[in-house]
Structure 1
């Protein structure tokens, strides 16, 4: 695989197998995540995503210490509803030692007002990456101010099981550019199973298909935006590219039109800006990359 693409996609998938449309049982999802960590493509895998309310169940289902995989279980825990109760569940789950060990390395918080974000952040350990979901139908500026103050990240919902859950390219491009300008990291969730933008089936009744964003498009657009070298129209154009031939790929850089992303710029963007995307499938992104002859 090209070095530039491996840098772009390293630890980019947060596995969310218990969520729609896959909606696997927790034992099934744990088994798939454990196998993925032992696969040749484990370099693309990051955290296991689950709600705070299911932490006790997750802990009971953990493979035994002598299982084939003994790596610490890195979790991204979703806090929604009564966030105080959710944080208490997290605290209770982490004050004991487990074998194999678990590490809550990120929190994903359901939509809150900026004032509520200020309150909850005071109760979250500084070493835990925290991503607050920001809907597309709200004024972004107050959120940028508070996230910058508290050193937290944003979570963008890039899809769902119905067509109206997908932001259009302009909405998504505006958010990416605004977050890049404010130097606020983000993660994406939902709708990014496919490498490139395309017309795909939805999972909703009475709907046949919709246009879905591609994780390569989002990652490349985000890296260029973080360089602050592109306009909104250019970010939208990158998000709407549907052919891998639109990009110039080599070991040392990724290019698009007259723009280029050297390895260091890609690495910096992934570390500081576009952190990951949640996917209910780990295999689908892998298969997409094989279909494009990128793996």
Structure 2
């Protein structure tokens, strides 16, 4: 496998591939940053040369009141509102998330841009009036959940699936076959999605003894899924560990390719946004970082 610096692109990829792609999940595992520190660093990210690649700050519903307190203690500042998405991990009652959203929506200089919850058959019972990401289960129930979400998608209903790509104590790492199956199902149902957990690096590999999917692998696999590739054809793309191969695939994507890929793969949460962005910079796929 080529070192990242040896695989550097001759020219950047289409900027739209990476714009607002990496949501700031600093307070979530494995980063587990205190909310005050996550807020401080997010302010730095949003003022940096790589701000274009960074999405909203992800805040657990249970931390909404603490965030309001932190903002109240800040010196008033001019500039953009703090963009946040409110997260309820699977099992969190929708009413708890609704209370957090209501609180943050009435807080000065905060813009709530989305809500994330675990999918349940009763997810429609709490209307948020915001873009909604629902984390789907794995196994046989996944296709039912994806079909259920796809049935409600429209131009006026911003709704997408969410899938966990990283391992936790209760969630084994999903291999290339499982991730390819999710991507194929989402594309087949014309359903956008975001990913969470485990996408800390640009290229598929073993990091600190753990298997991790690669950001570029996912972008390339989505492009080929849109081209009609089936699961068994997507698996090698997700398994590719040579950055030079992935860089070549990525830089060949046109502006139209980038737009449709990102219409499906909308974002993912990462607890340290500078990790993937730094690697994309080393690969010369992005400018301005």
Query: Normalization by structure 1: what TM-score?
Result: 0.84
User: How much does 1:164 deviate?
Assistant: 5.6
Partner residue in 2 for 1:285: 276
- Deviation digits for residues 18-63 of structure 1 (CA, Å, limit 9, x no counterpart): 1111111111000110000111111110111011121111122127
1:157 and 1:175, CA in 2 relative to 1: closer, same or farther beyond 3 A? same
Q: Match for 1:254 among 243, 251, 255?
A: 251
Structure 1, unmatched stretches of 5+, are: 202-208, 256-260
Structure 2, unmatched stretches of 5+, are: 1-8, 154-158
Bigger RCO (CA 8 Å, 6+ sep): 2
How is 1:123-272 mapped onto 2 (pairs within 5 angstroms)?
A: 123-125=127-129, 128-151=130-153, 152-161=159-168, 165-201=172-208, 209-225=209-225, 227-247=226-246, 249=248, 254-255=251-252, 261-270=253-262, 272=263
Q: How many residues align?
A: 269
User: How much does 1:103 deviate?
Assistant: 1.2
User: How much does 1:293 deviate?
Assistant: 4.2
Structure-2 separation of matches of 1:239 and 1:284: 19
Structure-2 separation of matches of 1:118 and 1:187: 19
Partner residue in 1 for 2:124: 118
User: How much does 1:179 deviate?
Assistant: 0.2
Structure-1 separation of matches of 2:202 and 2:169: 19
Query: Normalization by structure 2: what TM-score?
Result: 0.85
Q: Is the contact between residue 104 and residue 112 of structure 2 (CA under 8 Å) also seen in structure 1?
A: no
- Deviation digits for residues 234-254 of structure 1 (CA, Å, limit 9, x no counterpart): 21111111112113649xx73
Secondary structure of 1:139's match? helix
Q: Is the contact between residue 118 and residue 146 of structure 1 (CA under 8 Å) also seen in structure 2?
A: no
RMSD: 2.2
